[in-house]
Structure 1
Amino acid sequence: MVVLTDTGELEAAWSALAGQKAEKGFLTVALGHSQPRFRGGIVFPEGGETLLVGFNVDTAPAKAELPEGSGFRVETAGEALAPGFGVWVCLIRQAGAGRDLFVQMSADIVAALSATSTKSDSWLLALMLARIRAWQDFMRRPKQDRLSPEEEIGLYGELVFLRESLDAGAVPDIMVHSWAGPRGGLQDFQSDTIGIEVKSTTSVNGFPAQISSLEQLDGLSGRPVLLAGLRLCQQQTGQTLPELADALRARVASSRDLAASMDRALLLAGYDGSAADLYSRRFDLVDVRVFEVNDSFPCLLRSLTDPAIRAAAYEVDLDLVNANVISLPEALTRYGVLSA
C-alpha cells in the first residue's frame, strides 16, 4: 500500500523552514513518508510556501504550458534540489492567498502522483499539470451556498456507489483514492486498468443518463469502462446528502490519508459541510445496474467518431438499453478491488 502525504506532512515541512532566510531561490526539505520526488519549500525573497515535485524528464515545460490561478503560480526551479530528478515543478502560494485551500491543493497533487507508481515521469508531469488546472477551475467557480438539485443527486449517487462498494467488500484505499469525478476525471471512479461512470436518477419514467462528451465512455488505450446506473427515490426513511457524506467519512476516519482524500473530493464537488442544513431531501437506493460499455452498449465514442466532429453531448435512456447487466460484485472484481 502506498503511504500518501496528508496535509500534516506539508505543514511539518513548512514549519521546519520557518524563520530561515535566503536572498533568492528555494529552501526545501523532504516530505515525511512521501517519495523523494516531493519536497516542501519556501521561495525567496517573497517567502511563499511551495510544493516542489521532481521529474526525470529531458525538457522542462515551457512557461506558457504552466497553469496560473488566483492565489498561486507554477514555475520550474533553475537548480537541482535532490538527486535523480532533472526538472522540478514548483507550486507557489502567492502573498495574501488563502492558505487552507493551498494546503489542500498541494496534498491532493502529492496523493494523485503517489497513487500512480507504474507511469513514466512524462505522464506524471502531465497529471500534475492537469490536477492543478482542475483546482484552477474549482477556484474560478462562483461561490454557491449549496449544490443545485441535479448536482445534489449526482454527488449523492457517487457516494452511494462508494458505500455499496465498501459494503460488498471493496478495499477502502482503492475506492476512495480512485474517486475521480470531483477532480475532473473522465469517469467518476478510475484506475490504471478500468473506469466506472456513475449515473443517478429519481425518475420513475425512464432512466435519462447525460453523457457529457465523446470521451466519457471511451475505453481509451484499451482501458474498459463500466457504467453504473443508480435509481434513487425520495422518501423520509432515507438519508440526506450530509448524513450520507458524514457516514462515509466516519467509515474512513481511522485513516488520515483516506479522510483527507474524501474531504478534498467533497470540496472539489462543491459540497460545503457548513451548509448541511440546506439539504433536506432524503433519498433511498432502489436498484443498481452495471453495464459494460462494449459493442452492444449504445453510445458515441471518440475512438469511433470522425475527427471532424469536435465535440458532442447526448442522453441515453438506460431503461431502453438492451445490453448485458452485470452484478456489482462482478464489476468490482473486474475493477480489481475484490478477489475473483
Structure 2
Amino acid sequence: MLSSSSDTELVAAWRALSGLATGDGWKVIELFSIGNCCVMAGRRGVRNEESVLVGVKGNVPSQPFQLPRGQGFSLISTELQGHPANHSWFALVRQESGSLELFTKVAVDLLNLMESTSAQDGLRIHSAMISRIRAWQAFMKRDSDGVLSTEEEIGLFGELLVLQNLLDDGVSEFDALDSWTGPDDGLHDFLLGDGAVEVKTTLAPTGFIAKVSNLDQLDDSLHQPLYVAAVRLAQLSEGATLPDLIDLVAGQIHDPGATALLNSRLVSAGYMDMTQVEYTRRFRCSELTYRIVRADSPRLTRSSVPAAILEARYSLDLDAYPVAASTYADISNSLGVKNQWN
C-alpha cells in the first residue's frame, strides 16, 4: 500500500510549504492529476497543518457530519481557489494531537488509492476515499503494533477463505467485497441478499468449539437465513501464510473499486503490508461447510434469556448445527442472491 518514493515526495512537499499559508487559505503543491482525480500536498493557515487535498471531478455532495473525524486526523470538505472549478475538493488534515509519522502513512496510502481508482466516476472515488479513511480510524482504535494476534490471524484467514469461495462461486468482485462487513465490526461477517453468514474458524482436528461474542450473533430474527461458515484449518509446512492467501485473493480481483475495498477491509481488520514478515504460520483448509441456524438451534439470544441479562459471551459446539452445504453456490438461492454467472 505504501511506497517509499511517494513518502519522500509528500514529506518534501510539506517541508517546502511550511510557513507559507496565511489566514484560512491553502498553499498547495500538485502531486498528480489523472483521470477524474487531482491530488495536492497542502498546508492551511496559521496552524500550518500537514494536509492532502483530493479533487474529485464532478459534483460530489457530502454532508460535514458524514465525513470521518478523530484518531489524529479529519476529512473536511473545502474549496481551492485557482484550481479546476469542476472538482469537489476534500482535505485530509492532521490534527495537532496526531502523530506525523502515522499521518504520513495514512496520507501515502490515500495517494496510492486515489491513483488506482482515478479512472472511476467521482462518486466511486469519493466512496473509496471515505471507506479507506474509516478503515484507518478503525485500525488506530485497535491500539496495536500493527501485528494481529494468533486468534485474529486465524479468524482473518477463515474470512478470506469464505470470501474466496464467494468469488469462486460467481459473486461479482465488488459485491463480494461489499458484503464482507466483519472487519468493520459488522454484526455478521458477510451480509448477502436477505441473510448473513457468520464465519467461525478452528485449528482443532476434531470437534468444533466456536466462540460467540454476543447475544445477537446467532439470532436469525435479525437476518434470515443465517448461516455459520465452519472453517477448519490444519497448520502444515506446505500450507499458505496469511500474506500468501491475501495475494491469492487479490489476484482474483480486477475491478479497481473492489481492489480498493479489499485493501480497506484489510486495514480495518488490522492487517498491514509492512508487517507481513511477522506472519510465518502456514495453514491449509481441511473443511469449509455452511451450517444453518434454525429455530431449534442451541444458542443464546435476547429473546431466550432473562431481560436482566444484557450481554453474554459463550462457547458453542458447532457440530450441533446441521451442515447445509459445502459451497456458497449451494446456499446462494436461499439468501436471495443471484451470481454473475446466472
Pairing of 1:1-340 with structure 2 (within 5 A): 23-24=23-24, 44-45=44-45, 46=48, 48-49=51-52, 67-70=69-72, 72-73=73-74, 92-94=93-95, 96=100, 98=102, 99-102=104-107, 104=109, 135-144=136-145, 146-191=147-192, 193-219=194-220, 222=223, 224-252=225-253, 254-302=254-302, 305-322=305-322, 324-325=324-325, 327-333=327-333, 334=335, 335-337=337-339
Structure 2: distance between partners of 1:332 and 1:51: 39
**Contact 1:68–1:74 (CA under 8 A) maintained in structure 2:** no
**Contact 1:226–1:290 (CA under 8 A) maintained in structure 2:** yes
**Contact 2:201–2:233 (CA under 8 A) maintained in structure 1:** yes
Instruction: Sort the Cα spacing of 1:161 and 1:61 in 2 relative to 1 into closer, same or farther, 3 A.
Output: closer
Give identity over the alignment, percent. Answer: 30
Gaps of 5+ in 2: 11-15, 28-32, 80-84
**Contact 1:240–1:281 (CA under 8 A) maintained in structure 2:** yes
SS across alignment from 1:309 = coil
Shift in Å at residue 93 of structure 1? 3.3
Cα deviation per residue 1:257-308 (whole Å; 9 max; x = unaligned)? 2223222222332223343333332222212221233313322234655553
Give TM-score, length-normalised by structure 2. 0.66
Structure 2: distance between partners of 1:166 and 1:61: 35
Shift in Å at residue 212 of structure 1? 1.2
Provide the alpha-carbon RMSD of the alignment: 5.0
Instruction: Sort the Cα spacing of 1:275 and 1:138 in 2 relative to 1 into closer, same or farther, 3 A.
Output: closer
**Contact 1:24–1:43 (CA under 8 A) maintained in structure 2:** no
Shift in Å at residue 203 of structure 1? 0.6
SS across alignment from 1:232 = strand
Shift in Å at residue 201 of structure 1? 0.9
Give TM-score, length-normalised by structure 1. 0.66
Gaps of 5+ in 1: 1-5, 83-87, 118-123
Letter in 1 for 2:251: A
Structure 2: distance between partners of 1:187 and 1:282: 26
Letter in 1 for 2:265: A
Letter in 1 for 2:216: E
Cα deviation per residue 1:83-122 (whole Å; 9 max; x = unaligned)? xxxxx998643363643314657969xx9xx9xx9xxxxx
Query: If you compute each CA radius of gyration, which structure gives the higher value, 1 or 2?
Result: 2
Structure 1: distance between partners of 2:305 and 2:133: 29
Instruction: Sort the Cα spacing of 1:32 and 1:174 in 2 relative to 1 into closer, same or farther, 3 A.
Output: farther
SS across alignment from 2:70 = coil
